[in-house]
């Protein structure tokens, strides 16, 4: 297994936005997660959803929708873990 940061993002208060990352091997088991870099105590800051598009027989694209759950701007890292 290995992990890394694929992208950084920022969202305005209560904003939702979609990112994509492409050309990933379809044979890999990839887990996506978002880590806020903006400190805010007392409640969750982000939620996200991941959708997958199969580009061809061997590659795929991940569509990642991230929502800011707070009334203030939030910055974050789009992280992944490859499990195989």
| Residue 45 confidence class, pLDDT cut points 50, 70, 90 | very high
- Written as six digits, the tokens of 69 are 């759950």
Number of domain units in the chain:
1
Number of Cβ within 10 Å of residue 66's Cβ equals: 21
d(CA 41, CA 79): 21
Q: What is the mean pLDDT of residues 51-57?
A: 96
User: What is the tens place of the pLDDT at every residue in 4-21?
Assistant: 999 999 999 999 999 999
Model-level pTM? 0.94
Write out the residue range of the structural domain in which residue 69 sits.
Answer: 2-82
pLDDT at position 1 is 95
pLDDT at position 84 is 76
């Amino acid at each position: 297994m290995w992990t890394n940061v694929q992208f950084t993002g920022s969202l305005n208060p209560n904003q939702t936005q979609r990112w994509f990352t492409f050309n990933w091997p379809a044979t890999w088991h990839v887990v996506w997660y978002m880590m806020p870099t903006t400190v805010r105590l007392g409640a969750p800051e982000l939620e996200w959803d991941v959708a997958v598009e199969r580009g061809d027989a061997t590659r795929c694209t991940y569509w990642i929708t991230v929502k800011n759950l707070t009334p203030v701007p939030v910055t974050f890292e789009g992280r992944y873990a490859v499990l195989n």
